[in-house]
Amino acid sequence: MHISALARATPIKSELQLPTLGKTEKKDGPGFEEILGNAIGIVREQTAAADATNTQFAESTNGALHENMIALEKANVALKLMVSVRNKVVDSYRELMRTT
């Protein structure tokens, strides 16, 4: 088989087809941005609750030590988790940039 016969049998596209980077249709379920926004909101709520119980405890208005410590620890764990997720996202981004 000659090359000219093969070229006629298989059309070659002259344009490079790249995927579009614009907005795409939203799939079922929340996206990454929405999940991350919700997680940040939870951390803010935990921190606000810890601040409120800490203020109540410091002013001695209906604040118990154990409730204060529990609220502070919840806020601490939520913040540590958020920092860990952020670090993983940054590491993933760096890996993507390194491979491209």
> What are the boundaries of each domain within the chain?
31-99
Which residues fall within 8 angstroms of residue 71, CB to CB, at 6 or more apart?
A: 46, 49, 50, 52, 53, 54
pLDDT of residue 23: 60
pLDDT of residue 51: 92
- By the 8 A CB rule, do 43 and 36 touch? no
> Cα 42 from chain centroid?
13
Structure confidence at residue 77 (pLDDT): 93
Q: Spell out, as residue ranges, where the chain has pLDDT lower than 70.
A: 1-27, 63
What's the pTM value of the predicted model, to 2 decimals? 0.61
| pLDDT for the residue 22 | 59
Looking at residue 63, its pLDDT comes to 67
Terminal Cα-to-Cα distance of the chain (whole angstroms): 39
Give the per-residue pLDDT at 25: 63
